[in-house]
Amino acid sequence: MVNRIFLFLFSLGLLLPTFSLRAQTNVNSPYSRYGYGVLDNRGIGASRAMDGLGYALQSGKQINVKNPASYAAIDTLTFLCDFGVSLLSNTMKEGAAKENRVSWCFDYIALQFPLAKWLAASLGVVPYSTVGYNYAGGIENGSVRQTGEGSLNEAFLGLGAYIYKGFSLGFNFNYLFGELNNNSISVSSLDAVNATLFENVLDISDFRVEIGAQYTCRLNAKNRFTVGILYTPAKKLLGKGYIRGGAYNVSSGNTVAFQNDTVKLKDSYSLPATYGAGFTYTYDDRLTAGIDITFQPWSKAKYAGSTTYFNNYLQVIVGAEFMPKLYSSTFFQSVRYRAGVNVCRSYARIKASDKTYNDLWETGFTIGAGLPMKRNKSIINISFGYQNRRTTPSSSVTENEFRVSIGLTFNEMWFYKSRLQ
């Protein structure tokens, strides 16, 4: 068992460069140019098919990274490994203009195993945010092209423990890493050869902690409910920022630099606290339904030394999972059918052409299933999701994003010792 864990850790190290580059093939959204990009909902496996529901989910068969207190639900014989990939199609529309882009990404990888009857551990890598856009627009006496790419990801090590009669407590220790690039090239209508190039790079490398708790109350043999909470403290970001400017010759491709500054991020960039709460009801281990609420006071977070760039973030998720029969030889009666919906006011505060500010709203739904594998307890997770992004009160670019996700949860009895020699 120890050798297998070391093999996983070695594989995880090889995959870290993949996560650093994931944004180059993942998001195509002009709204990702604001702040730290498009935020991920951190749902993996079963949670992803319920649109990210997770604060009060407890399962010994699926990894739930949204609340580390859930790790304690794994039994003492089980080892879990979960990973997933996604294919995305994003259609953007503004007035009569319309564009579609297709991309894919390797989403996440996670592992979970017991340390004692009351204690379990989990580790892996999950996305935090992604930047990816490329568009042009007009400015006074010229035009400008805006491009961006990059991602922030979190490598985590978590512990979850049963403390007392249905109450569990957990911690995720996260390493946040990645690079975000935002570039612009301005060309004057009076001189189409010489342009002005600006590049803004955030290279982030920092640690933060998540604290979660869950309490489960059994009403009787078949009915129970669980409440869960999550707290992540606000954090000043560590890392470096690079601001570069230059005169760019469109014909030759040569750039003559006139600005090349390096700054520390600590006093100018930060992440807000996260407050999450959820509730789930479970019947006979076949039906689970719940709700999550997430609040992040981004209006207090610094970006480029200012606290005027962001709105407070508020998200509500409702999701459910249903399996017809716990024990059945019929395939379709053993499938776990899942669905979820979400509505979110994102953190981006977008300046309109009339100098007023717009809010960015995201709404969507996901349907999916957990398909059992015949010879073991492993599960193939598939989901189909839709997400709409739009601004209010005035309308700008409208996005319609479709996502197909496929994941695999390996479930093995690594800790079982046979009595037969």
Q: What is the mean pLDDT of residues 158-165?
A: 94
Q: Which residues pair with 113 in a beta bridge?
A: 121
- The per-residue pLDDT of the chain, averaged, comes to 88
Report if pTM > 0.75.
yes
**Lowest pLDDT segment from 20-24, 51-55, 67-71, 203-207:** 20-24
Between residues 248 and 101, the one the model is more confident about:
101
pLDDT in tens, 291-326: 999 999 999 999 999 999 999 999 999 999 999 998
pLDDT score of 279: 98
Q: What is the mean pLDDT of residues 2-7?
A: 52
Per-residue confidence at 415, pLDDT binned at 50, 70, 90?
low
pLDDT score of 89: 93
Domains and CATH numbers, the chain: 2-412 (2.40.160.60)
CA distance 290 to 341: 11
Is the bond leading into 297 cis (omega within 30 degrees of zero)?
A: no
pLDDT in tens, 137-151: 777 777 788 889 999
Task: Compute the C-alpha angle 204/209/214, nearest 5°.
Answer: 145
Only one residue has tokens 């993942």, namely 26
pLDDT score of 417: 55
Of all residues in the chain, the percent with pLDDT exceeding 90 is 65
Per-residue confidence at 281, pLDDT binned at 50, 70, 90?
very high
**Total count of residues recorded for the chain:** 421
pLDDT in tens, 315-357: 999 999 999 998 888 889 999 999 999 999 999 999 887 778 9
From the CB of residue 372, how many other CB atoms can be counted at a distance below 10 Å? 17
374 contact partners, CB below 8 Å, separation of at least 6: none
